[in-house]
Copies of this chain bind each other. A is one copy, B any other.
Amino acid sequence: MDNLDTTLDGLKFDAAGLIPAIVQQDGSGQVLMLGYMDREAVRRTLTSGRVWFWSRSRGEYWRKGDTSGHVQYVKAVAADCDADALLVTVDQVGPACHTGALSCFDGRGLPALPGANTPGAASVG
């Protein structure tokens, strides 16, 4: 078994065989989108320099940008402490969102009451 298989074996996929992947722009830190990968999409993402997803709606592999031209070049990939989520740092070409927005979260704020870091609370680490 090679190192890549060992890496993939270390990830936890859900009942549908998927793991959520947060995609973040390198440098700016902007969160661009959340997609889903199966084991093969993770393998392709780790080895090809391009971000691959499993499209739940279309039921097929999806190399981001093949249709739109809005390619995501892989800069780094990390798993989380439970190995059931991925953070993919990318160079995004053009907008990440199919609406033309740079991020899928742009302009979609929900009404939220902000919380306050009150005096006496532990300092932000």
Interface residues of A (CB under 8 A from B): 3-4, 7, 20, 22, 24, 28-31, 33-34, 45-50, 69-82, 85-87, 91-95, 97-99, 101-102, 104-105, 108-117, 121-125
Contacts and interface: CB of A to CB of B under 8 A. Distances in A.
23 contacts: A22-B22, A33-B85, A34-B80, A46-B113, A48-B115, A49-B115, A69-B122, A73-B115, A73-B117, A74-B112, A75-B114, A75-B115, A77-B112, A78-B109, A79-B108, A80-B105, A81-B108, A92-B125, A93-B122, A94-B122, A94-B124, A95-B125, A102-B125
B24 A31 contact: yes
A39 to B, nearest CB: 13
Per assembly, the copies of the chain total: 2
A104 B109 CA distance: 24
